[in-house]
Structure 1
Amino acid sequence: MELLRALIVDQAYPEPGEQARVVSMNQGCNDIRLSRPQISSDGSLLRFQTDISLYWGTPIAGRCLAPMGWQGSVVLLQQPAIDRHWQLRFQTHDSALLDRSGRAVPLVELLYNLIKEHVHSYLGRITLNLAPPVGDLKQFLLSQAIDDGSSSTEQILDSIYPDRPVLSPTDLRVDILAQVDHPPAAPTGEPAEDGISEEAQAKIIALWKSWDAMLVHLIDRLSEKPLSLADRHLLLDSMLTVRYEFEDALTNNHLTDRFVRDQFMQTWQVLRPLFRRHLDPGDSNNLLGYLSFFTAADALSGIDQIGPLLGVEISRAGFYRLALMLSNETLNEGEGVDPRLRRVLGLDDTLPVPPAPPATPEPDQLFPTDPAAPEPPPSEPPDASWLRHGAGLLQRTTALLFTIRAAHAALPGMNEIREWTAGIVSAEQLLPKVHKVVQEATRSQQAKITVTNLNPDWFSRMMHATAWQESCFRQFVVKDNKIVYLLSYNNTSVGIMQINEKVWRGIYDMQELRWNIRYNSLAGAEILSLYLNRYIAPKRTAFSGEGGGDERFLAGWLYSLYNGGPRQLDKFPSRYTTNELYRSDELFLEKFDKTNGSSWLTTVDCLPAL
């Protein structure tokens, strides 16, 4: 209803403050103004209410005789109707006058006739042209057409026409109908028994990156909206679920050509009500663009129903076209920090980058910079044949020793990196330094933790046990006689806290995560704090009788989310109470137990010997 109201205001209330001057004659002697339109449903009719200010007299010889003034509101009950040319109009069936307190006004013939003659006719001329968003929908679906079915798709889309408008308490819906004689065949979407080809997988990965960028693009649009904590939690949970599911499918070679389609449909159904509540055009010039967006997104989410009918499928070009319906910003698939995304999730706009001692590498220590970020695709995904079963996403970074970029002037130099490299610096020297960095990161989040009745050193123990479990306190290692940042076995997570670069894209600076141990530690602390406050704190009391008050249980629970994402929220308590912990759970809890004391650093024996 909000979008419908905005479209009506844009057409019929052009003056500042949502006002309309219906009559203005005879030097103000005859004046009728409308303001504050309100729209709702009343059964099968649209209830249109607007404030009215009326001043009416008889102009004679430059004077206004016997003027009558009245202020109140008029209520029209209207029947929406749409023709084959997509012109939406509203026919008035009944009306009433209300005084300023909202009470019905007894019929006054002169007053009613004036309002009926001028106001009814003015509002009755409102016509919303829905042909542009319908045209956008056609072009959008054509851009998703499978090559060999595009002519059939175009023929079907040319036949579309509107169904009768239907009102609900929250929406005015106009279904789009089409004439189909012989639906075109569509691919089955089932992968071969021995899995999909490397080329097909590369295309799915590229498509997923565009879908992930589309989700972030939508979340960014809400950065200035008055979101509730529940709204922010839903957005965070949806984004993390999308990313963890992708990582899991990629790591276990479970990607299929339906993966992105299914993720989009499921996520859109969850988030659509939130976006409908909070997304607004902001600029009246883009009202129809917003209507186009929701129409196209709803059509895309029903791809399983309309896909075989129209011969269409989700594509990267489709996501880019969707984004442009909302704003003139294209999708961003890069690695940079997105302050708007952090703001929506309830974080500070940026995570401060701790200064590193200046050090300039010698010329023979410089290595090539990372490849430039790919340009946004025009209509077809760019060649991504270098991806191999997902490992290639980050494989290129393992051969880099150092990266010089003007945007990262604070990154440590080679001398600094050597001082934090396991295998070059002894454990006796490295561990106290790393302990200090982890303690600093702990203090950065200590005051933000909302879970009460914890021992003062609990979060510090949590941080140290996590760094121990994830990396054995290593940010850099020696590999093939080169210093490289620590990279996980599946090439997804980096540094001392093993921050997953796909999961936390846009939230953290990837170069800083790789080359700055202080920044990596701060990011790990922020993630632990986020999971603790947003996920565990609201559910902690539900498990109070099953170890929920036990700080050891709480530490294991939090680590399971840090390691496996939101899906572990209910799974870990079940494992803990049935004594069926994963091996990773057990290893972490062993380390958490050891951190209880002052001399536990002497028990760390996983660092390489010199």
Structure 2
Amino acid sequence: MLSLTRPVVPVRKGFVLPLFLSWSGQFCAVSLFIVWQLGLETSAEDFASPVAAEVSTKTTEVAVPLRLDYPLLQQLLVAELFTQPGVSRELLSDPSACSEIVLSEPVLSPRDTQLEVLADLRAKIGVGANGACATLLSWEGRIGVAGIPETMSNGTSLGFVPEHVWLLSSTGVPVSNDRLLQLAQSSVRSMFSQFTVDLAPQLQSVKTLLPEALPRHSRGQIQALLDTLRLGDLRVTPESLETDILFVVDAASEPLQAELALSNAELARWEERWQLMDSVLVLAVKHYAAATQLQVLRDALLDVLIESRYRLRDALVEAPDAEGDAVRAWFLQSWQALAPVIRRIGLEQPGQEPLLLFSVVASTDALAALDELGPSIGLDISADGLRRLARMINGDAGDALLQYSDEVDPELRSLLEGSLEAASPPSAWRLDFSLFSKAMAATPDSLNSWAPKREDLPEYLPQVAALLEASASTAMAKKNLDPAYEELFRRLVLTTAWQESCWRHYVVSDDRKLVPLRSGTGDVGLMQINERVWRGFYSQQQLRWDIGYNSIAGAEVLLDYLLKYAIRKGEHKQPGGAVNLARASYSAYNGGPSKISRYRSSKASAYGKKVDAAFWEKYQQVAAGDELAVSRCLGGDLSGPAVASRSSSQQTRAPRGGTASQAPEYFTLQLGAFSAEESAASFIATNALAAKARVQRRSKGDTGQYLVIYGSYATRAQADQDKERLAKFQPWVRRFGDL
């Protein structure tokens, strides 16, 4: 796994900073030991300045230990030497086809101070004449080769010098066959001496990135550093083949004095920088998710991205200054979390170039190591540096993919929707909209333009409750939730909306404009969906201006946390039982996936404990049927359920109306026809039509259709007025009697 070992003592002259580069299969994780001569007084770095005076005349050799795990070396060996069918290599070329020596299925491992390769050997020696062969020797067993790894003369490649060759029986017993060994030995030595691992292209990518990240070093200092970069001696250990990346570096230039605050131009560059950082992470997640069909690895990539987005949300709360950059630290930590998942994906893709990941992982780990040196090094992950990383991930297409957009990204959306297998919708929570009094009904557009006053609450709150319940039903229709948890999930959605917004989506601004409810960290609307965390997964425009869309988004996120985290991690098995699932899901909703157990953790922050305690108090009121207690945070004093009591028979029905309750001569608007009842209910919830829309089942041959009908009008003229307002649905004016 990729890990940056952080020193627990100050960096001083001659101190070694460890950062490990290990390979597993096709992967690498870097380990960088930087020996740095620091005799300068450290001070805060200038955030924006690209130039500083050169003050150092001393140099220090930097040793960067590089560990190549044996599965990687074996894969490289196979890719380079065993390219014939069956992972084999023919050593003897006989025009008469009477003789052959074939090696296959090599296994590479350490042997004291050498590397050892064992391979299956099939040998046949014969003579031929006039198209006939006389076999003199036929043998099958194994052959072993041991030798010394070496650094090649070019300083950027690794090689192998065979020193000893031996034979084994198929059971592993040493065999003495001088004739066969003599025939095989010279060709085996020649073959394995051709094995090289060329790291020059990958080292060049690190060389290319460093000038972008060290703006305070002069061009001469940077060039001197790059000119000395080479590989050191090789060492065989039980775990890996180790070497050092060596280079000589000048001591850091004197940092400039910090500015008191960033200018507007600097703030704009800073914002562009963090947006590019987020875009680079998104690019990596999408690129590597497309390289695997294993859902567990795609889930892991998604988890890293979502968790990193929560940390970005927190990092952006504080304005940047010249003494530190929390966003830069966030970016480096995110890559450290992402790299192990990428390496595992590489193991599932044996056809990929084995060293493909070295460039980007080595580069980001090098940046992390430089960051450890503190402000005096002048590390700056520039926009050009980020674009260079994007090219390492996805070639020249990387630049074009670094778009920071508010729109839905189909690839990210697919990752989210595919994180759990969709199943048939549960039957227990399909809201019956006919339970709501038509006297309380408002037009659906009213919820999308309503900042409720105290006197509005008796009318407003039941409609929001209906919307939230419909959203919960819609979310459950897409996921496989155990019916035992359906009631818990409904309460979770209602309570979360209470905790986050007091069931409000809109408020009136100081200049008396209707605006979406928004927090200082970018959370918006009824469910307070964070726009930065869920960028690309949901439309930010719709999150702001469509209460129904916002409601469904929040329900989807909550259900994902309930299924993927709370249930899978067994939170219901902790003291407290099944209700822990709601508490855990909300902790993750508020703080990110890593906070799933915050509600029960003694190490939780005071803020986290306060938030979770407030949620739990509200949840218990919702569970007791006092949903209208939400009114108290809006200045009201209502109590009791937000909707009429739901009998079990009512709970199993989707929003539905019947013509028996309507005069046949009255008119209604048909907004759609669906083959599945849950699809009709989802349409109503998604478009915030709960107040006046219903589902009407109509028989059609041996099957049925589910019509979404809207309103009841005594005259066609009245129906036509709403028809014009609802034109985007292409409504059809119909008589109830015709249905």
What does the per-residue CA deviation read over 1:450-469, in whole Å, with 9 as the maximum and x for residues that have no partner?
A: 99896652211110111223
Does structure 2 conserve the Cα–Cα contact (< 8 Å) formed by 1:74 and 1:97? yes
**DSSP 3-state at the match of 1:185:** coil
State the shift of 1:543 in Å: 4.7
Contact 2:25 2:75 in 1 (8 A): yes
Question: What secondary structure, in the 3-state scheme, does the structure 1 residue paired with 2:125 have?
Answer: strand
Q: Which amino acid aligns with 2:278?
A: D
Query: Between Structure 1 and Structure 2, how many residues are aligned?
Result: 537
Match of 1:60 among 129, 150, 156: 129
Pairwise mapping of residues 584-599 of structure 1 onto structure 2 (< 5 A)? Answer: 584-585=611-612, 587-596=614-623
Matches within 5 A, 1:285-364: 286-304=353-371, 313-328=380-395, 329-330=397-398, 331-332=401-402, 333-335=404-406, 336-337=408-409, 339=411, 343=415, 347=419
In 2, Cα distance between the equivalents of 1:13 and 1:264? 40
CA distance in 2, matches of 1:577, 1:163: 46
- Corresponding residue of 1:490: 520
- Overall identity of the aligned pairs, in %: 29
Q: Find the aligned partners of 2:319 and 2:378 in 1 and give their Cα distance.
A: 28
Aligned counterpart, 1:48: 117
Partner of 2:223, secondary structure, is helix
CA distance in 1, matches of 2:373, 2:245: 12
Counterpart code for 2:333: Q
Structure-2 separation of matches of 1:308 and 1:159: 24
Distance 1:306 1:71 in 2: 57
Q: Aligned match of 1:184 in 247, 252, 277?
A: 252
- CA deviation map 1:78-124 (0-9, x unaligned): 32111341232101233333444x42351212222222122332122
Listed one character per residue, the Cα deviations across residues 53-89 of structure 1 (whole Å, up to 9, x for unaligned) are 3333123333322253434433322321113412321
Instruction: Work out whether 1:92 is the aligned partner of 2:123.
Output: no
Change (3 A) 1:582 1:135: closer
**Preserved contact between residue 337 and residue 350 of structure 1 (Cα < 8 Å):** no
1: CA distance between counterparts of 2:390 and 2:421? 23
Give, in angstroms, the shift of residue 341 of structure 1. Answer: 7.6
Is it true that 1:504 corresponds to 2:573 in the alignment? no
Partner of 2:599: 572
Distance 1:349 1:239 in 2: 20
CA contact (8 A) 1:153 1:311 kept: no
Instruction: Provide the rounded CA distance (Å) in 1 between the counterparts of 2:517 and 2:132.
Output: 86
- Provide closer, same or farther for how the CA distance between residues 512 and 99 of structure 1 changes in structure 2, counting only shifts above 3 A: farther
Distance 1:132 1:300 in 2: 18
Offset of 1:152 from its aligned partner?
0.7
Whole-Å Cα distance in 1 between the matches of residues 541 and 419 of structure 2?
Answer: 20
SS at match of 1:347: coil
Asked if the contact 1:337/1:507 (under 8 Å) is kept, the reply is yes
Of the three residues 118, 125, 132, the one matched with 2:194 is 125
Larger gyration radius, structure 1 or structure 2? 2
Cα distance in 1 for partners of 2:492, 2:195 equals: 63
Residue 76 of structure 1: SS of its match in structure 2?
A: strand
Are 1:250 and 2:308 matched, yes or no? no
Deviation at 1:436, TM superposition (A): 3.2
Secondary structure of the residue aligned to 1:29 is coil
Q: 1:562 aligns with which of 578, 589, 600?
A: 589
Compute the displacement of 1:161 (Å). Answer: 2.0
Which residue of structure 2 lines up, in the alignment, with residue 2 of structure 1? 25
Q: Is the 8 A contact 2:451 2:505 kept in 1?
A: no
527 and 44 in structure 1: CA distance in 2 versus 1, 3 angstrom threshold: farther
- 2:560 corresponds in structure 1 to 530
Q: Distance in 2 between matches of 1:597 and 1:72?
A: 75
Residue 490 of structure 1: CA displacement? Answer: 1.7
Q: Tell me if structure 2 keeps the 8 A contact 1:268–1:301.
A: no
Distance 2:377 2:161 in 1: 34
Query: How far did residue 540 of structure 1 move?
Result: 2.6
Q: Deviations over 1:473-496 (max 9, x none)?
A: 344556557655x24132612232
Q: Normalization by structure 1: what TM-score?
A: 0.74
In 2, are the aligned partners of 1:223 and 1:341 still within 8 Å (CA)? no
- The equivalent position to 1:22 in structure 2, one of 72, 91, 102, is 91
Give the SS at the match of 2:165: strand
Cα contact 2:103–2:121 (8 A) shared by 1: yes
**Structure 2 partner of 1:150:** 219
Asked if the contact 1:495–1:514 (Cα under 8 Å) also holds between the matched residues in 2, the reply is: yes
Decide whether aligned partners of structure 1 residues 274 and 65 sit closer, same or farther in structure 2, where only a CA change above 3 A counts. same
Tell whether the 8 Å contact from 2:109 to 2:117 is kept in structure 1 after alignment: yes
User: CA 1:241–1:112 in structure 2 vs 1: closer, same or farther (change >3 Å)?
Assistant: same
Amino acid at match of 1:21: E
Equivalent of 2:284 in 192, 210, 218: 218
Partner of 1:468: 498
Q: 1:598 to 1:298 in 2, by over 3 A?
A: closer
**Match among 259, 269, 276 for residue 203 of structure 1:** 269
For the residue of structure 1 that corresponds to 2:276, the secondary structure is helix
The gaps in structure 2 that reach 5 residues or longer are 1-23, 27-72, 424-442, 637-739
Pick from 145, 165, 183 the counterpart of residue 76 of structure 1. 145
Contact kept, 8 Å, 2:422 with 2:478, in 1: the verdict is no
Alignment pair present for 1:600 and 2:619:
no
Distance in 1 (alpha carbons) for counterparts of 2:375 and 2:317:
30
Deviation at 1:12, TM superposition (A): 1.9
SS in 2 for 1:319: helix
- Residue in structure 2 matched with residue 410 of structure 1 by the alignment: none
Please tell me the root mean square deviation across aligned C-alpha atoms, in Å.
4.2
CA apart distance, 1:569: 4.0
Shift of 1:575: 7.1
**CA deviation after TM superposition for structure 1 residue 178, in Å:** 1.5
Contact 1:449 1:532 in 2 (8 A): no
Q: Which whole-Å CA distance do the structure 1 matches of 2:146 and 2:611 have between them?
A: 64
5+ residue gaps, structure 1: 352-414
1:404-428 CA deviation, whole Å, 9 max, x = no partner? xxxxxxxxxxx96455321499655
Mean alpha-carbon deviation: is it higher for 498-507 or for 330-339? 330-339
Q: 2:543 and 2:422 mapped to 1: Cα distance?
A: 13
Change (3 A) 1:27 1:592: same
SS at match of 2:115: strand
